[in-house]
């Protein structure tokens, strides 16, 4: 029997319980999609099959399930024993936790303002949210009933009982993130103080079973909107990683319910403000020591781009050894150069900088001004507030004029010097915190950006490649190795690999995985760094990486198209690889000039790249007007005279590698006559395969679609045709050197035919162009020990994605493989001795004066591309000269 007793589940029947034993499915979400996605018709039919009474959240009426308060409290308390219980977890944050098929969690939710419990589980790229029902003292999910919720979950997991008709099962209960603390695990004790933004309590935190620690808890005032809550959690996650003796340790946050709480280290010495007022025997040396402590803490925060916004004695605490600790992170803002408030009504005016009072702008330099006020508080021992006796309005006038706070004559000259520097009227003329620290403590080195936990307490891992393979591996590693440092290096000037450069412009849904990557970089500043525009082999060598990092992950894809291998297959003959043609319309190759001024195009290859290229050429160009297609490509397609596209497969219809979604898109293009050209023998071959009951559903649906479209639907000006068992044998060119026709040879009969062709695209696969120094075999393939481990004794080296021939181009497969690689690496590191005092890639690039694109640089580019695109009515306007744009931006 589990820890949940049957009485925990509520002995009292409610006469209002009218729910059936069937589960209710909440709206689904596709991974990487920020907004709620609608189920497809197929998915709706599948859900309906699981239960005739499946309902969305909005359809569940308020009288279906009721928990009384006593039952709800007992239920929540019982569930907190299980790490797969996440409390009132916002649905937006679930997609960051569920990664692999069968990952699940249980959470509290509200339906029609009534508390309910739900399972969230992933299959493929779709996350399902399934309501759990309670009736007659039994919990039910589909046809399975159990007296406790734990028993119901464990029965589905252990016995692999599907929770949906499509076969979705529960495999791995995903743990609560370490920074999420349940309200049920916090017991508030004594109120210690309060202010404009919240109240502080002493409390006990049940960190784990049998482990309870004393903490301080800040309860924030007011209700948070969805975005505010998301921003707050993001900041708290960052601050949780701060580890410095002059910073109050942040253990985590409890954001699921109101009031939102921050759980902090308990500083036994109390508040600095109270300490200064109550202590009788403080010397100037002690007071100066407090200023140095506070400055040391602010150096640490400032070096991590944290703007505190409320530096004051009341927001500093005293540690057990008499050291000052910077606290009150409820106002801090991380990773911004400045922020702006619309109103200053609730702000502590007398501690604010002139630019804040005038324009509502906070920055690290406005923190320097406030630090000057703190110095004044320390040496006056907080006998009175700054500008005592003045109203906020009068004090504001004083501050805008430069302030006139003076230290008592008994204060040391150094205190006055520091304070006067802080009160410099122009923000740009004020010193940085490290400059103040050098003045206060000339014999001590100030904290810098690369000390503390970021680089010294965990494994250092280099990832070569910023596409889905590399970044999904990063995502999995960040979950499994919280203390690791990840440096992502890429030759391209922008991240995300084929997500931006390879995915067709009309496939915006596929590109939404970039939303996940963006959140990952934003929430792991300091642990996850990006170095684009870095050529491994030139700017930094593979040998350097394996020498200096504990592990290296090869995720650089297959960068070279397999060549056609016949004469005249060059761009100057209007012959292009599929990779280059895709790069052309996606804005990566503006130098290419495909000629679209004649009507016949031929595409060699039966994969998704071929299908994408054909769809681009045959579609009404208006399909792409509001996408992120390159403008030069749009203009050329707008004037294109291509009318016929033949897709040539060297093998038969049973051997195609394109997927049903892409094929259906092509065959159902409006105003295009499209078909799969099948002989009678080919039809019979397909039908024979379809008679096999062991054939997978995916292949069955694909082959049935091909049979359905063996005849053209309607007569239109444009035609698309998929042909099998033909291979190119000769390219014929005209007097201008342009391709005129293509000779094809039947793979079965060896009979040759000549077809008109004015544009030839070949997409017959990729070859990995491995980095110099990477171990390869006699066939130039990676030298692997198993599916991912590379044979290199100098470091732990792994390969994933195209360069390891894993993933096959489908993002879901790439993600699954990346997770497996991360699991293997995590296991290997447990017995691996970490390297010390090595030169990391950022130091190497600085020494060589290499201009790289950082994550912050990319954010500037991304924002500009979106803003320009919005003005033009497009999703994005791609900037081709990224370096030039950044130079101009920084100059301005």
Would the pLDDT of 618 be above 50?
yes
Would the pLDDT of 731 be above 80?
yes
336-341 long-range Cβ contacts below 8 angstroms, 24+ apart: 336/305, 336/307, 337/305, 337/363, 337/364, 338/307, 338/362, 338/363, 339/307, 339/309, 339/363
Q: What is the pLDDT of residue 275?
A: 92
- Local structure of 190: helix, strand or coil: strand
The Cα diameter of the chain in Å comes to 104
Report the alpha-carbon distance of residue 463 to residue 556 in Å, rounded: 9
Would the pLDDT of 445 be above 60?
yes
Range 183-264: architecture per CATH: 2-Layer Sandwich (3.30)
Going by the DSSP 8-state scheme, the letter that residue 12 receives in this structure is S
Would the pLDDT of 583 be above 60?
yes
Q: For residue 251, give the H/E element and its range.
A: strand 250-254
Would the pLDDT of 322 be above 80?
yes
- Give the angle 263-267-272 at the CA atoms, nearest 5°: 115
Would the pLDDT of 768 be above 80?
no
Confidence class for position 10, pLDDT limits 50, 70, 90: very low
How many other β-carbons are positioned within 10 Å of the β-carbon of residue 302?
24
Which of 797 and 124 is assigned the larger pLDDT?
Answer: 797
Q: For residue 236, give the H/E element and its range.
A: helix 226-240
Would the pLDDT of 841 be above 50?
yes
Q: What is the CATH number of domain 270-451?
A: 1.10.510.10
What would the pLDDT profile of 215-245 be if each residue is shown by its tens digit? 888 887 666 666 666 666 666 666 777 788 9
113 labelled binding-site residue = no
Which stretches of 51-143 are assigned E, i.e. beta strand? 103-111, 114-123, 126-131, 133-135, 138-141
Would the pLDDT of 497 be above 70?
yes
Class of domain 460-559+768-851: alpha beta
Report the alpha-carbon distance of residue 856 to residue 865 in Å, rounded: 14
What would the pLDDT profile of 368-383 be if each residue is shown by its tens digit? 999 999 999 999 999 9
| Domain segments of the chain as ranges | 69-173, 183-264, 270-451, 460-559+768-851, 571-762, 863-891
Q: What is the pLDDT of residue 806?
A: 55
- Cβ atoms of 351 and 289 within 8 Å: the answer is no
Mean pLDDT over 203-210 rounds to: 80
Report the alpha-carbon distance of residue 728 to residue 298 in Å, rounded: 68
Q: What is the pLDDT of residue 265?
A: 87
> Residue 87 class from Cβ within 10 Å (0-12 exposed, 13-18 middle, 19+ buried)?
buried
Q: What is the pLDDT of residue 808?
A: 57
Q: What is the CATH number of domain 69-173?
A: 3.30.505.10
Q: What is the pLDDT of residue 690?
A: 94
- Residue 163's DSSP bridge partners are none
Q: What is the pLDDT of residue 344?
A: 47
Q: What is the CATH number of domain 571-762?
A: 3.50.50.60
Q: Give the mean pLDDT of the chain.
A: 83
- Residue 575's DSSP bridge partners are 760
Mean pLDDT over 514-531 rounds to: 89
Give the tokens for residue 113.
């303002």
Residue with structure tokens 């997978």? 696
Report the alpha-carbon distance of residue 234 to residue 92 in Å, rounded: 13
- Which of 19-28, 483-492, 603-612, 877-886 shows the lowest mean pLDDT across its residues? 19-28
Indicate the pTM of the whole model. 0.56
Confidence class for position 691, pLDDT limits 50, 70, 90: very high
What would the pLDDT profile of 16-55 be if each residue is shown by its tens digit? 333 333 444 554 444 443 333 333 333 333 333 333 333 4
- Which of 75-84, 641-650, 661-670 shows the lowest mean pLDDT across its residues? 75-84
Confidence class for position 67, pLDDT limits 50, 70, 90: low
- Cβ atoms of 844 and 497 within 8 Å: the answer is no
Q: What is the pLDDT of residue 341?
A: 47
Chain-centre distance of CA 103, in angstroms?
A: 18
Mean pLDDT over 396-402 rounds to: 89
What would the pLDDT profile of 130-180 be if each residue is shown by its tens digit? 988 888 888 888 889 988 888 999 999 999 999 988 889 999 998 887 777
Q: What is the pLDDT of residue 237?
A: 66
Q: What is the pLDDT of residue 36?
A: 30
Q: What is the pLDDT of residue 85?
A: 87
Most confident among 252-266, 644-658, 829-843 (mean pLDDT): 644-658
Q: What is the pLDDT of residue 96?
A: 67
């Amino acid at each position: 029997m589990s820890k949940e007793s049957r009485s925990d589940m509520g002995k009292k029947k409610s006469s209002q319980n009218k729910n059936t034993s069937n589960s209710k499915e909440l709206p689904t979400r596709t991974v990487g999609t920020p907004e709620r996605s609608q189920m497809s018709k197929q998915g709706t039919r599948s859900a309906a099959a699981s239960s005739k009474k499946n309902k969305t959240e909005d359809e569940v009426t308020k009288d279906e399930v009721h928990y009384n308060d006593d039952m709800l409290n007992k239920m929540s308390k019982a569930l907190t024993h299980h790490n797969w219980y996440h409390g009132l977890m916002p649905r937006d944050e679930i997609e960051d936790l569920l990664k692999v098929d069968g990952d699940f969690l249980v959470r509290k939710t509200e339906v029609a303002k009534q508390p309910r419990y739900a399972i969230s589980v992933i299959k493929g790229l779709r996350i399902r949210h399934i309501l759990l029902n309670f009736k007659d003292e039994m919990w039910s999910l589909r046809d399975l009933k159990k007296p406790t919720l734990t028993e119901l979950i464990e029965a589905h997991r252990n016995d692999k009982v599907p929770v949906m008709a499509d076969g979705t099962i529960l495999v791995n209960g995903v743990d609560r993130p370490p920074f999420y603390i349940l309200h049920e695990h916090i017991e508030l004790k004594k109120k210690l103080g309060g202010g404009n933004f919240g109240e502080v309590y002493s409390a006990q935190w049940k960190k784990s079973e049998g482990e309870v620690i004393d903490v301080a808890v800040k309860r924030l005032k007011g209700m948070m909107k969805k975005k505010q809550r998301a921003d707050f959690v993001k900041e708290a996650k960052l601050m949780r990683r701060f580890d410095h003796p002059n910073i109050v340790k942040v253990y985590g946050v409890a954001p699921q319910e109101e009031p939102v709480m921050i759980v902090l280290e308990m500083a036994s010495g109390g508040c600095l403000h109270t300490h200064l007022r109550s202590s009788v025997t403080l010397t100037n040396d002690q007071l100066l020591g407090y200023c140095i402590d506070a400055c040391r803490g602010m150096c640490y925060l400032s070096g991590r781009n944290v703007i505190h916004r409320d530096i004051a004695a009341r927001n500093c605490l005293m540690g057990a050894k008499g050291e000052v600790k910077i606290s009150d992170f409820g106002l801090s803002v991380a990773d911004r150069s400045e922020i702006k408030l619309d109103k200053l009504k609730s702000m502590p005016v007398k501690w604010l900088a002139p630019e804040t009072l005038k324009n509502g702008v906070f920055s690290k330099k406005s923190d320097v001004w406030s630090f000057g006020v703190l110095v004044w508080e320390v040496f006056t021992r907080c006998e009175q507030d700054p500008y005592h006796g003045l109203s906020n309005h009068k004090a504001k006038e004083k501050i805008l004029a430069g302030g006139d706070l003076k230290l008592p004559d008994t204060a040391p000259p150094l205190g006055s010097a520091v304070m006067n520097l802080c009160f410099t009227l122009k923000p740009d003329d004020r010193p940085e915190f490290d400059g103040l620290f050098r003045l206060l403590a000339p014999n001590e080195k100030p904290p810098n950006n690369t000390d503390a936990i970021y680089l010294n307490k965990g494994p250092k891992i280099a990832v070569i490649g910023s596409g889905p393979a590399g970044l999904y591996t990063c995502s999995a590693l960040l979950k499994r190795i919280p203390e690791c440092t990840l440096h992502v290096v890429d030759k391209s000037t922008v991240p995300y690999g084929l997500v931006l450069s390879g995915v067709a412009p009309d496939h915006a849904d596929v590109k939404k995985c970039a939303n996940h990557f963006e959140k990952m970089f934003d929430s792991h500043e300091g642990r996850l760094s990006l170095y684009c525009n870095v050529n491994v082999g030139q700017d930094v060598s593979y040998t350097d990486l394996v020498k200096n990092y504990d592990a290296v992950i090869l995720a650089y894809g297959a960068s070279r198209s397999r060549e056609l291998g016949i004469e005249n297959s060059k761009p100057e003959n209007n012959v292009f690889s599929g990779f280059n043609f895709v790069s052309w319309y996606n804005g990566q190759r503006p130098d290419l000039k495909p000629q679209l001024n004649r009507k016949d195009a031929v595409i060699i290859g039966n994969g998704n790249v071929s299908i994408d290229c054909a769809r681009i050429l045959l579609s009404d160009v208006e399909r792409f007007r509001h996408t992120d297609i390159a403008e030069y490509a749009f203009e050329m397609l707008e004037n294109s005279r291509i009318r016929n596209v033949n897709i040539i497969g060297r093998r038969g219809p049973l051997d195609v590698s394109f997927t049903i979604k892409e094929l259906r898109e092509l065959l159902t293009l409006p105003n295009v006559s499209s078909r799969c050209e099948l002989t009678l023998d080919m039809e019979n071959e397909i039908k024979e395969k379809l008679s096999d009951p062991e054939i997978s559903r995916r292949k069955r649906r694909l082959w049935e679609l091909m049979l359905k479209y063996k005849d053209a639907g309607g007569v239109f000006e444009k035609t698309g045709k998929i042909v099998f068992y033909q291979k190119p044998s000769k390219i014929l060119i005209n007097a201008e050197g342009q391709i005129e026709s293509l000779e094809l040879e039947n793979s079965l009969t060896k009979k040759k035919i000549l077809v008109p062709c004015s544009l030839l695209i070949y997409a017959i696969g990729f070859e990995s162009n491995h980095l110099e120094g990477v171990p390869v075999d006699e066939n130039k393939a990676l030298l692997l020990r198993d599916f991912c481990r590379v044979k290199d004794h100098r470091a732990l080296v792994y390969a994933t994605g195209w360069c390891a021939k894993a993933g096959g181009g489908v993002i879901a497969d790439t993600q699954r493989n990346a997770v497996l690689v991360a699991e293997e690496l995590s296991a290997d590191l447990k017995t691996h001795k970490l390297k010390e005092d090595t030169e990391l890639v950022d130091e190497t690039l600085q020494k060589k004066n290499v201009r790289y694109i950082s994550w912050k640089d990319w954010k500037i580019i991304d924002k500009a591309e979106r803003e320009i695109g919005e003005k033009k009515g497009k999703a994005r306007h791609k900037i081709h000269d990224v370096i030039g744009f950044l130079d101009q931006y920084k100059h301005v």
